């Protein structure tokens, strides 16, 4: 299997196991934030647009406030990994820039560590906003320009730089959300400030 944006090293290696442990810890904390700040009431439909192996979507699916947690990714290997880990999880193979869902069909649409790998990051919040209902929430989390990954722009063409993806400032992330017609409501720095996330309302 080749290198994936969601993967560090090959499965079974020490690097992969260490990164996998850190990713699981990150996902638990991120889900806690999304449940607390991103959900309203019960019966929520939650969509992770660009899920990789969908660890967080599995955790969200078990929350009593979530009626349905769906993970979408274009990477079939990532979805196969998710299916092995969680056979009950709702998985969809699709491009997050062309989500196969009706307008206004989800309560919370989110992603973390995805947008930075797109040629045109602005397209993601636009499509995420489309599938989110009025008064619903959209969350985007990206590598933080002013955190420990601030050096990335100097190495962006190297293998490590490509794996990290682009870094963003809070101002850049805020502007992306506003261009998509979203109202920023809450920002969070997470995973030791490596990432910055913005929760917005449609």
Domain CATH code at residue 98:
3.40.50.150
Domain contains 131: yes
Q: Rounded distance, CA 51 to CA 79, Å? A: 8
Distance in angstroms (rounded) separating the CA atoms of residues 128 and 35:
18
Asked if the structure places residue 3 within a domain, the reply is no
Task: Tell whether 74 is covered by a domain.
Answer: yes
| pTM, entire model | 0.88
25 lies in some domain: yes
Report how many domains make up the chain.
1
Strand 44-49 and strand 106-112: the pairing is: parallel
Whether 5 maps to a domain, the answer reads no
Q: Is residue 58 part of a domain?
A: yes
| Residue pLDDT tens, the chain, 202 long | 334 554 545 555 554 455 555 566 777 889 999 999 999 999 999 999 999 889 999 999 999 999 999 999 999 988 998 999 999 999 999 999 999 999 999 999 999 999 999 999 999 999 999 999 999 999 999 999 999 888 888 888 887 777 788 999 999 999 999 999 999 999 999 988 999 999 999 9
Residue 146, phi-psi category: left (phi > 0), alpha (psi -120 to 50), beta (remainder): alpha
CA separation for the pair 3, 142 (Å, rounded)? 20
Q: Give the residues across from 47 on adjacent strands.
A: 70, 109
Residue span of the structural domain in which 94 resides: 14-201
- Residues in Cβ contact with 79 at an 8 Å cutoff, skipping those fewer than 6 apart: 51, 53, 54, 71, 73, 91, 93
Which structure tokens are listed for 103?
Answer: 């307008």
Q: Does residue 143 sit within a domain?
A: yes
Asked if residue 6 is part of any domain, the answer here is: no
């Amino acid at each position: 299997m080749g290198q994936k944006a969601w993967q560090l090293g090959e499965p079974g290696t020490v690097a992969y196991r260490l990164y996998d442990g850190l990713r699981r810890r990150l996902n638990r904390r991120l889900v806690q934030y999304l449940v607390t700040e991103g959900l309203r009431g019960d019966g929520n439909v939650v969509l992770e647009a660009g899920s990789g192996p969908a660890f967080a979507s599995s955790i969200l699916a078990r929350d009593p406030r979530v009626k349905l947690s769906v993970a979408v990714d274009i990477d079939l290997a990532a979805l196969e990994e998710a299916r092995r880990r969680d056979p009950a999880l709702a998985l969809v193979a699709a491009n997050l820039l062309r989500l196969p869902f009706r307008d206004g069909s989800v309560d919370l649409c989110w992603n973390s560590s995805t947008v930075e790998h797109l040629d045109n990051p602005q397209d993601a919040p636009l499509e995420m906003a489309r599938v989110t209902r009025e008064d619903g929430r959209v969350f985007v989390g990206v590598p933080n320009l002013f955190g420990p990954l601030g050096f990335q722009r100097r190495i962006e063409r190297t293998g490590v730089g490509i794996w990290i993806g682009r870094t963003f400032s809070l101002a850049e992330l805020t502007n992306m959300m506003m261009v998509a017609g979203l109202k920023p409501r809450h920002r969070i720095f997470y995973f030791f400030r490596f990432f910055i996330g913005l929760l917005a309302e449609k």
